[in-house]
Structure 1
């Protein structure tokens, strides 16, 4: 279903976000707010910029040496470089905060208080500000003062204990996910929390403080694995690509490569048995119901794996698809980015830097029919908008900006 949008500004148009964060979780949250129309001002360290600018290769070939990693999380932003350790720099940030609806920061617990940039200090000048702190372990608890990194959190949270090949199989052992899932999920939870706080402010006029932690966010994603332990006393184990409760629901090897088959119920299992030419399996007491199939998966696989191994992937996928069974191939990243479905959904976009360098990116996946996401600004060079923001937003004249630049309190683009 499609309808013509009524706004091309985005649903958050008119809101300003002041970003005092770097790397991924905070920038991921602020980028989503920017995609939805908010004006995002990213404050970076003079001469350094966001850490991820140097996390390469690959880098953009435009002389900026900005990495592809940085580009994935920083579109729809303006970049300004301010030395917040100097009183004059901190004062500039406070003036920007006074004009901002949302502040996102990911400094260590208590670090911004020494500069007068903590929530209590900014609430004094902007009472309805929504202030979101992103840390590894949260603002309290015995681990609060520790630094948090995605890999560390994946291991501590338990997610690595349920990811990887089972004990006794080649390649056994815990594995991290192939994407920084702890950072990304924290950015998503931060965005959800900020939007909830915005609605609260619209109803009451009150701002509020939001405490989002990588560890909390990753543990929350344990979902069914945690519920099985909390409610049933069952400790989850690594299952490789198999499912703990549903069978067959994993990868299988065909004559020419691997495919995925995801059978979610007994009706689908009966259809699979028909496709594989073994309809009697669907009424075998060992396999007829989901629980029995999982308990007897070794016996089931002894029958169906050789059959699947004798079929080509294209032939079997065509037959499974005709039977309306969930199936597919294991795509590489280049393959899925070139997939007709991704093209049809319009997920890949391109913006151009002022020197003509193209930047491609994956857009916001939600399709809002009346106020869709928009892509207005290419990921900026470090400090690209320093003069623009100081002039247009804080009303400083050219001489005042020049004095700040010469003193090193602020910096122009690297």
Structure 2
């Protein structure tokens, strides 16, 4: 039993943002019915794939964010499939889609139409620039992807080396953070419905979400009157807070608090630095001199030496690649790697586990991603049984 085991989600989404949102719901126990257009989700064929000719042609991208869902292939432009979709909507608590503005209207399946069939429905959309229902702009209808949202939302302008070009963040945060906010909105709408019986529309835009994520840049602009820009791995108002090259890699240190600063200076045998720069304002004013001292010391020590000296008294960590992550006992003890079957391959693959931990209804991936249309007969049988139960009342 998951926290959402009594919730059914009809999932029209594809690629990353929408599927990640509905994946979070599935991990918490929701029955997520993935309605796929003819041919399936655009990322079913995306690499990486196992080097096994018998393996199902969906790869790691699709597997990771579609685990634990049921699939049915429907052409919403065909009368029979459209009716099947509407029957699914009647059984649903939530519908999620991430089409461009106007797409669902082109099928005569807009929120208002679905709400007539199911007044308690929570209808959620994820778009690049939001939906006119929640605030109309001239950008709506334009396509958007992660890099577009990161560029417009200010993320790229504040990411990268100080003397380098704007840089996108590695993970697709334009998709992932938007998806997470959409999931939160859905949960809020479900709670509201529990109290009032009212369904509603939930809208999350990628551009809006990136503005929310770059909250620091917004207040810095307001307080300072000029746009903040890139400062590498440093922090504009806290010091020391940076990555340092060591003899065999990189470590990060966050020691801007006076207690951590003094512990850092003791750990590297430089108590004179603590005495010379006792206040946060002193350290910010002289950050270049201090950074040079720390950089010189770090370069002659290994990762293990730095971590052994500082860990426990100073926030410090090695910069890990995925080999190191897979070997970290913490990751396994926290169940942050999850094995799922790869159809046809006769072996399992690892995907990221759920970062949400709950003492009673702990979320977890609930099996592999579905084959295209894998659950058609099962879902049609459920709808038929529901119709029969209604007719017998």
Residue 100 of structure 1, CA deviation: 0.4
RMSD: 1.8
User: Any gaps of 5 or more consecutive residues in structure 1?
Assistant: 1-8, 398-414
- Normalising to structure 1: TM-score of the pair? 0.88
Question: CA offset at residue 43 of structure 1?
Answer: 0.6
C-alpha displacement of 1:60: 7.3
The corresponding residue for 1:162 is: 158
Segment drifting more, 178-187 vs 80-89: 80-89
CA distance in 2 between partners of 1:60 and 1:69 (Å) = 15
Q: Deviations over 1:231-274 (max 9, x none)?
A: 34242110111111111111112233321111130121112112
The equivalent residue for 1:147 is: 143
Is the 2:119–2:198 contact (alpha carbons within 8 Å) kept by the matching residues of 1? yes
How many residue pairs align between the two structures? 381
User: Which residue is 1:276 aligned to?
Assistant: 268
Residue 154 (structure 1) shift: 1.0
> SS where residue 252 of structure 2 aligns?
strand
Match of 1:308 among 285, 298, 305: 298
Instruction: Give the Cα–Cα distance (whole angstroms) in 2 for the partners of residues 153 and 394 of structure 1.
Output: 43
Kindly indicate whether residue 28 of structure 2 is the aligned counterpart of residue 36 of structure 1.
Answer: yes
Cross-structure match for 1:369: 359
Q: Does residue 320 in structure 1 map to residue 306 in structure 2?
A: no
Distance in structure 1 (CA, Å) of the matches to 2:270 and 2:386:
78
Residues 1:73 and 1:157: Cα distance change in structure 2 (over 3 Å): same
Q: Which runs of 5+ in 2 are unaligned?
A: 388-393
Paired residues for 1:5-404 under 5 Å:
9-46=1-38, 48-59=39-50, 61=52, 62-139=54-131, 140-167=136-163, 172-284=164-276, 287-321=277-311, 324-352=313-341, 355=344, 356-395=346-385
Where does residue 410 of structure 1 map in the other structure? Answer: none
The structure-2 alpha-carbon separation of the partners of 1:210 and 1:396, relative to structure 1 and needing over 3 Å to count, comes to: closer
- CA deviation after TM superposition for structure 1 residue 175, in Å: 0.7
The 10-residue stretch of structure 1 (19-28 or 85-94) with the greater mean CA deviation from structure 2 = 85-94
Distance, in Å, in 2 between the alignment partners of 1:181 and 1:88 is 38
Asked if the contact 1:347/1:365 (under 8 Å) is kept, the reply is yes
Write the deviation string for residues 48-99 of structure 1: whole angstroms up to 9, x where unpaired: 2111112213357443210101111001110000111112221111111011
Matched position secondary structure for 1:267: helix
The question of whether the paired residues in 2 share the 8 Å contact of 1:90 and 1:116 is answered with no
C-alpha distance in 2 between matches for 1:253 and 1:352 = 39
- Comparing 387-396 with 339-348, which one deviates more in the overlay? 387-396
How many angstroms does 1:395 deviate by? 4.5
Q: Report the Cα distance in structure 2 between the residues aligned to 1:118 and 1:294, rounded to whole angstroms.
A: 54
Counterparts of 2:138 and 2:117 in 1: how far apart (Å)? 32
C-alpha contact (below 8 Å) 2:341/2:348 kept by paired residues: yes
CA distance in structure 2 between the aligned counterparts of 1:212 and 1:59, rounded to whole angstroms = 34
> Are the aligned partners of 1:116 and 1:122 in contact in 2 as well (CA < 8 Å)?
no
- Cα pair distance change 1:57/1:367, threshold 3 Å: closer
SS class of match (2:311): helix
The superposition leaves residues 275-322 of structure 1 with CA deviations (integer Å, 9 ceiling, x where unpaired) of 2222122122xx322232122211112323222222222222211125
Contact 1:137–1:214 under 8 Å retained in 2: yes
Q: Distance in 2 between matches of 1:280 and 1:234?
A: 36
Which residue matches 1:409?
A: none
The answer to whether the 8 A contact 1:76-1:379 is kept is yes
SS in 2 for 1:261: strand
